[in-house]
């Protein structure tokens, strides 16, 4: 068990993430080429505890805040977007596992405190009732980090004895009872290994099921009601966790562009150095302000979630919708900032040998996640502000 005195503070965890940056940068091309995290990166994440941010202290984890989570993942993203994305998803799956009954949590961490879970919340699986639980079959694409996980966290639809839809929610299944299909072939975030988990006649006992209707309303199955982080609202936090890695990638692009501007000129002009150009200076300033704005919105959303959990309060619809639009703004501004920086840096930005092209690919892939699409979230938030019902999604 980890005690309060053993838990590093936010500054220490951020510093640990920063210390990994040289390793992540050195392995970035390998991560892309292998389409998975290299073993030494996985080992470094385990040794620094950066994938135990949301593991309960009862099992040796850090059980930290959403704000710390976002800030640490942003720092990791400065070194490698794929690594930060995987760490973000592994951490949120640990948070999800901690919402289950203590018996399920013990299944995951009792014998292996370093166990990772990965999966997909989408209820793509079908479960039929059997004695003591359910028999599950299904396919879950986009399971980031599944190649490194020991547990699958997968959404399922439950049927009753008459074959009628009776419930839906999240299941926990050992990865050694699942298979992984190699389906992740994308232009960016190549190293996340976001492949497809497949279950065929896997038994899920009753204690490893978390019903979504109650969870969406803020009621979880954990018996440890005084653990603040496990009172955070489910849908908003599972959306917000996509923000950190994108902020980190955008910051890396800004730092790269600034550093190179002191040795690069502007072709077909009299500027021997980009940094001397007023036009270039304004582009850098525009990108920096977009990234700063994105960071402030992510931090506001994280603070809102942490505060409501401290107050033992389920956020109202408008507050939850604001977390979604905050996250969508992060995605939009990070993407736009990198676009500005690519234009400012010049045509060589898109050369295979230039780090900037990977950052550009990563931020485009990450920022187009369906749940952060700008137009969709504008409508979600606008309807919430105006009290227009029904909204266009129940995922708020």
Q: For residue range 246-291, list pLDDT tens digits in order.
A: 999 999 999 999 999 898 888 888 889 888 899 999 999 999 999 9
- pLDDT above 70 as % of the chain: 99
CATH T-level assignment (fold) for domain 4-111 = Butyryl-Coa Dehydrogenase, subunit A; domain 1 (1.10.540)
Nearest residue to 80 via CA among 251, 257, 239, 293: 251
The pLDDT of residue 1 is above 70: no
With contact defined as beta carbons under 8 Å apart, do 143 and 163 qualify?
Answer: no
- pLDDT above 90 as % of the chain: 90
* Better-predicted residue by pLDDT, 18 or 164: 18
**What confidence score (pLDDT) does residue 268 get?**
85
Q: Which residues contact 213 (CB under 8 A, 6 or more apart)?
A: 167, 168, 169
Report, in this order, helix, strand and coil percent for the chain, each rounded to 5: 55, 15, 30
Secondary structure of residue 100 in the 3-state scheme: coil
**What confidence score (pLDDT) does residue 5 get?**
61
Q: What superfamily would CATH give domain 117-215?
A: Butyryl-CoA Dehydrogenase, subunit A, domain 2 (2.40.110.10)
119 vs 359: CA distance, rounded Å: 25
244 vs 383: CA distance, rounded Å: 26
**What confidence score (pLDDT) does residue 274 get?**
86
Find the mean pLDDT for residues 73-101.
98
Q: How many CB atoms lie within 10 A of CB 310?
A: 13
What is the total residue count of the chain? 396
Nearest residue to 140 via CA among 98, 95, 175, 97: 175
With contact defined as beta carbons under 8 Å apart, do 305 and 312 qualify?
Answer: no
How high does pLDDT run on average in the chain? 95
Q: What is the pLDDT of residues 29-65, one digit of tens each?
A: 999 999 999 999 999 999 999 999 999 999 999 999 9
Q: What is the pLDDT of residues 319-367, one digit of tens each?
A: 999 999 999 999 999 999 999 999 999 988 888 889 999 999 999 999 9
pTM of the entire predicted model: 0.95
Find the mean pLDDT for residues 132-138.
96
Q: Which residues contact 336 (CB under 8 A, 6 or more apart)?
A: 290
Name the one residue in this structure whose structure tokens are 């593991």.
55
Pairing mode, strands 179-181 and 195-205: antiparallel
* CATH 1.20.140.10 location in the chain: 234-386
Nearest residue to 97 via CA among 224, 281, 11, 199: 224
Q: What is the pLDDT of residues 166-196, one digit of tens each?
A: 899 999 999 999 999 999 999 999 999 999 9
* CATH 2.40.110.10 location in the chain: 117-215
**What confidence score (pLDDT) does residue 209 get?**
97
Confidence of residue 2 (pLDDT cuts 50, 70, 90): low
With contact defined as beta carbons under 8 Å apart, do 360 and 182 qualify?
Answer: no
Find the mean pLDDT for residues 12-37.
97
Among 1.20.140.10, 1.10.260.40, 1.10.760.10, 3.40.50.720, name the CATH number for the domain at 234-386: 1.20.140.10
25 vs 38: CA distance, rounded Å: 12
The pLDDT of residue 203 is above 80: yes
**What confidence score (pLDDT) does residue 4 get?**
61
* CATH 1.10.540.10 location in the chain: 4-111
């Amino acid at each position: 068990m980890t005690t309060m005195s053993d838990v590093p503070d936010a500054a220490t965890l951020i510093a640990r993430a920063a210390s990994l940056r040289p390793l992540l940068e050195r392995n970035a091309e390998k991560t892309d080429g292998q389409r998975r995290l290299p073993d030494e990166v996985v080992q470094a994440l385990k040794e620094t505890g950066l994938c135990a941010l949301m593991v309960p202290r009862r099992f040796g984890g850090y059980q930290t805040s959403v704000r710390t989570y976002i800030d640490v993942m942003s720092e990791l993203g400065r070194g490698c977007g794929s690594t930060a994305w995987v760490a973000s998803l592994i951490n949120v799956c640990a948070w999800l596992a901690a919402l289950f009954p203590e018996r399920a949590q013990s299944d995951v961490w009792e014998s292996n405190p370093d166990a990772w879970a990965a999966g997909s919340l989408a209820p793509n699986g079908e479960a039929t009732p059997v004695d003591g639980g359910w028999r599950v079959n299904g396919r879950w694409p986009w399971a980031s980090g599944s190649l490194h996980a020991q547990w699958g966290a997968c959404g399922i639809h439950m049927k009753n004895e008459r074959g009628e839809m009776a419930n839906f929610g999240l299941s926990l299944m050992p990865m050694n009872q699942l298979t992984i299909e190699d389906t992740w072939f994308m232009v960016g975030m190549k190293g996340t290994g976001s492949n497809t988990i497949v279950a065929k006649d896997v038994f899920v006992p009753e204690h490893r099921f978390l019903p979504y209707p109650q969870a969406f309303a803020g009621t979880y199955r954990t018996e440890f009601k005084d653990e603040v982080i496990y009172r955070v609202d489910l849908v908003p936090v599972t959306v917000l966790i996509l923000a950190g890695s994108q902020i980190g990638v955008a910051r890396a692009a800004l730092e790269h562009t600034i550093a190179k501007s002191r040795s690069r000129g502007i072709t077909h002009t009299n500027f021997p150095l980009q940094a001397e150009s007023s036009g270039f200076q304004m582009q850098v300033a525009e990108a920096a302000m977009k990234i700063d704005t994105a960071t402030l919105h992510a931090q506001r959303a994280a603070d809102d979630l942490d505060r409501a959990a401290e107050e033992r309060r389920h956020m109202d619809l408008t507050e939850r919708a604001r977390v979604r639009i905050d996250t969508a703004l992060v995605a939009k501004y990070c993407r736009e900032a990198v676009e500005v920086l690519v234009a400012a840096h010049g045509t060589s930005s898109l050369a295979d040998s230039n780090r900037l092209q990977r950052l550009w690919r990563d931020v485009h892939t990450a920022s187009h996640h369906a749940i952060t699409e700008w137009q969709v979230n504008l409508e979600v938030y606008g309807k919430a502000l105006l009290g227009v019902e029904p909204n266009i999604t129940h995922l708020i």
